[in-house]
């Protein structure tokens, strides 16, 4: 099993320092969140909290995840980066393919694309994308992204996106993996159809176990049971060596975590105690996990 550092909601000036120490501590990846803006009011509930409220506010810092990956990639050599997850519904996939192509090249192929539909109607509408039929539109956008990023001269003629032959160069140095986020059956089916893995939001262990089992059923239905598939988890009730081993036993392949949270350190704290927490996690968890 691998371990990924989440850098959500941390001050932007800390990101490169967190990346360097995460690489030294043995983390495999860094997970990059996505939020376009904070609207004063929203016309839909946030789907991953019990009461539908947002757990951040208008002062919470967010970097564009692709820009952040390029910045952190410039100060590291091994660690990978992936979006967890980027809101595809409000973005044009042709423009996004150009950005992903660039960051994949600039990081030497150390980039994966985690994708979700998005939940806020305001993010869609204020970025010029329709909220209606968003799932169908995202399915088509995923196909457009895969087509362009795999390289060569390509064309696409769909219901939502239409273009004649084009090519983006250079082709990424390695195939960009896609990870699909979301907990609904529609999202799981999307992951089984089009992704190299699935990325969870915050979940309890029992729900995570059931979701992984369902994904395995859907993959088998598509003849993909024997293909490599990543299960990236944010589990809220299993921690420590024993807890992570329990996660591995149900199929989790990648634990997404914030070590400073276990030390009672807030997002807006100075960087030094966060770096100490990362190093401690590397010594006490990552280095011992396979023992």
- pLDDT number for residue 48: 87
Q: What is the pLDDT of residues 175-223, one digit of tens each?
A: 999 999 999 999 999 999 999 999 999 999 999 999 999 999 999 999 9
202 domain residue, yes or no: yes
268 domain residue, yes or no: yes
- pLDDT number for residue 291: 64
Strand partners, 6: 31
66 domain residue, yes or no: yes
- What is the spatial distance between Cα 138 and Cα 184, in angstroms, rounded to a whole number? 15
- pLDDT number for residue 290: 74
Which tokens is 255 given? 């634990």
Domain around 278: 2-286
238 domain residue, yes or no: yes
Q: What is the CATH number of the domain that holds 208?
A: 3.20.20.30
234 domain residue, yes or no: yes
Those residues of the chain that have pLDDT short of 50 are none
Q: What is the pLDDT of residues 81-109, one digit of tens each?
A: 999 999 999 999 999 999 999 999 999 99
171 domain residue, yes or no: yes
137 domain residue, yes or no: yes
Number of domains in the chain: 1
Handedness of CA 129, 131, 133, 135 (dihedral sign): positive
- What is the spatial distance between Cα 218 and Cα 102, in angstroms, rounded to a whole number? 33
DSSP states of 39-66 as a string? -SS-SS--TTSTT---SS-TT-----HH
269 domain residue, yes or no: yes
* Cβ pair 200, 233 in contact under 8 A: yes
b/e code 157-188 from CB counts within 10 Å (16+ = b): eeeeeeeeeeebeebbeeebbbbbbbbeeebb
- What is the spatial distance between Cα 31 and Cα 140, in angstroms, rounded to a whole number? 25
Task: Output the pTM of the full model.
Answer: 0.96
- What is the spatial distance between Cα 204 and Cα 195, in angstroms, rounded to a whole number? 23
């Amino acid at each position: 099993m691998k371990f990924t550092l989440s850098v959500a909601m941390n001050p932007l000036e800390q990101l490169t320092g967190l990346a360097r120490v995460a690489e030294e501590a043995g983390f495999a990846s860094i997970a990059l969140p996505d939020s376009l803006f904070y609207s004063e009011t929203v016309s839909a509930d946030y789907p991953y909290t019990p009461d539908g409220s947002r757990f951040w506010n208008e002062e919470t810092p967010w970097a564009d995840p692709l820009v952040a990956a390029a910045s952190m990639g410039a100060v590291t050599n091994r660690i990978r980066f992936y979006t967890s997850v980027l809101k595809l519904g409000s973005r044009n996939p042709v423009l996004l393919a150009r950005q992903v192509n660039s960051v994949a090249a600039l990081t030497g192929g150390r980039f994966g694309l985690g994708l979700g539909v998005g939940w806020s109607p305001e993010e869609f509408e204020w970025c010029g994308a329709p909220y209606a039929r968003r799932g169908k539109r995202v399915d088509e956008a995923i196909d457009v992204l895969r087509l362009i990023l795999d390289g060569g001269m390509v064309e696409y003629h769909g219901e939502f996106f239409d273009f004649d032959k084009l090519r983006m160069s250079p082709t990424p140095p390695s195939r960009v993996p896609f990870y699909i986020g979301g907990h609904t059956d529609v999202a799981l089916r999307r992951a089984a159809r089009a992704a190299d893995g699935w990325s969870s939001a915050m979940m309890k262990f029992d729900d995570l176990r059931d979701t992984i089992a369902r994904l395995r059923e859907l993959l088998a239905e598509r003849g993909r049971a024997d293909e490599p598939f990543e299960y990236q988890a944010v589990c809220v009730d299993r921690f420590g060596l024993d807890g992570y081993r329990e996660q591995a036993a149900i199929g989790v392949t990648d634990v997404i975590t914030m070590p400073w949270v276990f030390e009672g350190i807030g997002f807006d704290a100075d960087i030094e105690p966060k770096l100490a927490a990362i190093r401690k996690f590397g010594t006490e968890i990552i280095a011992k996990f396979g023992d």
